[in-house]
């Protein structure tokens, strides 16, 4: 386990040495990038500009909350929804989706970096991201999905050797709000990997609403490592007297220590049943709601 008292000053010192000019950080609002933003801000002060890219693939209310929480920093919020949807259009393959999102991310950052004359990019990559990317299991957007031409002078990854629970400890020691330090992991490619197959604006809206319902029902009461909803395909349902071909929403709730392995949570029937009724009532194009029982392995946590 990391010794936070030693880790924090050492990380700050290392960032000051690595960053010569101005730096930007990809602030997503997750615990990883938030910890990096605070460390980097302490290391280089106003030479840091945290940038939040609104990809249009974030959870409900997330952008508004980030603006509130980081209002003390020189936060730049970039609306790039159309660019991300455009980059994803027509793509079905999960790894291609990750690459499309990753490349768009980096391009938007590069543009901002140039405007700000920043030559350093700070990233919240953690140890399991690195291991899984090196092992070819999945290209995480902040490691394997990078395009080959990057003109940043340096890429700094202050927490690349930490596991998630260690990052949370550092977050608590840095006095980040509970909402951030205990926040569930959320994939870099956002809701795009919670839609199996092609991503459209309509499906993003559906999955965003379903995710919000699942989080409301499960996070505070059961403290899962991760819980979410995904659209996994189409199936037949009945609306009134008519058979319809609607979306299948899968609910996932898992316990885990580090995301490398996970087990499905045993949830009370009344809770699962309420989730189903709320999703079916709120989203008329959903025909079916299912609960995923599969541990990791053999499944992964996300559906793609
Ligand atoms: P899987 O689905 O591989 O996920 O069991 C393990 C953990 O990683 C998250 N995840 C990602 N995070 N970019 C990320 O930054 C990605 O492409 C990505 N894919 C999965 C997942 O939510 C879980 O916490």
The ipTM estimated for the assembled molecules is: 0.99
What are the pLDDT digits (tens) for 157-206? 999 999 989 999 999 999 999 889 999 989 989 999 999 999 999 999 99
Q: Do 53 and 25 touch, CB atoms closer than 8 A?
A: no
Site residues for ligand 1, CB cut-off 6 Å: 98, 138, 140-142, 185, 187-189, 193, 226, 259, 296, 300-302
Residue 31, marked binder: yes
Asked whether the predicted pLDDT for residue 256 surpasses 50, the reply is yes
What are the pLDDT digits (tens) for 9-58? 999 999 999 999 999 998 988 999 999 999 999 999 999 999 999 999 99
Range of weakest confidence among 120-134, 188-202, 249-263: 120-134
Residues 114-133 have a mean pLDDT of: 86
- Which run of H or of E encompasses 170? helix 164-173
Q: How confident is the model at residue 137 (pLDDT cuts 50, 70, 90)?
A: low
Q: What pLDDT, on a 0 to 100 scale, did the predictor assign at position 22?
A: 93
The C-alpha atoms of residue 97 and residue 93 are separated, in whole angstroms, by 6
Asked whether the predicted pLDDT for residue 142 surpasses 60, the reply is no
The first and second tokens of residue 233, run together, are: 């395909």
| Fold of the 4-181 domain | Rossmann fold (3.40.50)
Q: What pLDDT, on a 0 to 100 scale, did the predictor assign at position 244?
A: 92
* Strand, helix or coil for residue 221: helix
Protein residue with least CA distance to atom 10, ligand 1: 187
Residue 277, marked binder: no
Q: Helices H, strands E: what count in the chain?
A: 10, 9
The first and second tokens of residue 300, run together, are: 């992964």
Q: Which atom of ligand 1 is nearest to the CA of 303?
A: 2
* Residue 288 CB neighbours (<10 A): 18
CA distances (Å), 42 to each of 9, 19, 69, 277, in order? 10, 12, 17, 47
Q: Do 113 and 90 touch, CB atoms closer than 8 A?
A: no
The single residue listed with the structure tokens 């092992």 is 135
Asked whether the predicted pLDDT for residue 228 surpasses 70, the reply is yes
Q: How confident is the model at residue 141 (pLDDT cuts 50, 70, 90)?
A: very low
- Among 20-24, 63-67, 254-258, 267-271, the range with the most confident prediction by mean pLDDT is 267-271
Q: Which residues pair with 228 in a beta bridge?
A: 252
Q: How confident is the model at residue 148 (pLDDT cuts 50, 70, 90)?
A: very low
The C-alpha atoms of residue 97 and residue 91 are separated, in whole angstroms, by 6
Q: What pLDDT, on a 0 to 100 scale, did the predictor assign at position 218?
A: 98
Higher pLDDT: 162 or 258? It is: 162
What are the pLDDT digits (tens) for 205-216? 999 999 999 999
- Which run of H or of E encompasses 164? helix 164-173
* Strand, helix or coil for residue 48: strand
Q: Which atom of ligand 1 is nearest to the CA of 132?
A: 3
Instruction: Tell me the domain boundaries of the chain.
Output: 4-181, 200-291
Q: What pLDDT, on a 0 to 100 scale, did the predictor assign at position 147?
A: 44
Residue 16, marked binder: no
Q: What pLDDT, on a 0 to 100 scale, did the predictor assign at position 16?
A: 97
Q: What pLDDT, on a 0 to 100 scale, did the predictor assign at position 135?
A: 64
Q: Which atom of ligand 1 is nearest to the CA of 98?
A: 17
Eight-class DSSP state of 195: B
| Fold of the 200-291 domain | GMP Synthetase; Chain A, domain 3 (3.30.300)
Higher pLDDT: 278 or 66? It is: 278
Taking Cα atoms as reference points, which of 298, 24, 249, 32 lies closest to residue 140? 32
Q: How confident is the model at residue 146 (pLDDT cuts 50, 70, 90)?
A: very low
The C-alpha atoms of residue 281 and residue 298 are separated, in whole angstroms, by 32
């Amino acid at each position: 386990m990391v010794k936070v008292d030693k880790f924090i000053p050492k990380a700050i010192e290392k960032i000051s040495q690595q960053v010569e000019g101005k730096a930007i950080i990809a602030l997503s609002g997750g615990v990883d990038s938030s910890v990096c933003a605070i460390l980097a801000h302490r290391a280089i002060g106003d030479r840091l500009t945290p940038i939040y890219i609104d990809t249009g693939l974030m959870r409900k209310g997330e952008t508004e909350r980030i603006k509130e929480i980081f209002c003390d920093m020189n936060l730049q919020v970039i609306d790039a929804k159309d660019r991300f949807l455009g980059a994803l259009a027509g793509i079905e393959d999960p790894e291609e989706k990750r690459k499309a999102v990753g490349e768009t991310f980096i391009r938007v950052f590069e543009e901002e970096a140039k405007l700000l004359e920043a030559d350093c990019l700070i990233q919240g990559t953690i140890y399991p991201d690195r291991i899984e990317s090196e092992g070819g299991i999945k290209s995480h957007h902040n490691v394997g999905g990078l395009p080959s031409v990057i003109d940043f002078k340096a890429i700094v990854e202050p927490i690349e050797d930490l596991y998630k629970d260690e990052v949370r400890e550092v977050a608590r020691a840095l006095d980040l709000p509970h909402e951030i330090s205990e926040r569930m992991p959320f994939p870099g490619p956002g809701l795009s990997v919670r839609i199996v197959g092609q991503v459209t604006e309509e499906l993003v809206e559906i999955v965003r609403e379903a995710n919000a319902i699942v989080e409301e029902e499960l996070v505070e009461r059961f403290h899962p490592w991760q819980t979410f909803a995904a659209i996994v395909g189409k199936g037949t349902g009945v609306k009134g007297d008519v058979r319809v071909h609607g979306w299948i929403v899968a609910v996932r709730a898992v316990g885990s220590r580090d995301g490398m392995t996970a087990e499905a949570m045993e949830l009370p029937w009344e809770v699962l049943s309420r989730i189903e009724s709320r999703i079916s009532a709120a989203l008329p194009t959903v025909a079916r709601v299912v609960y995923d029982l599969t541990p990791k392995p053999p499944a992964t946590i996300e559906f793609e």
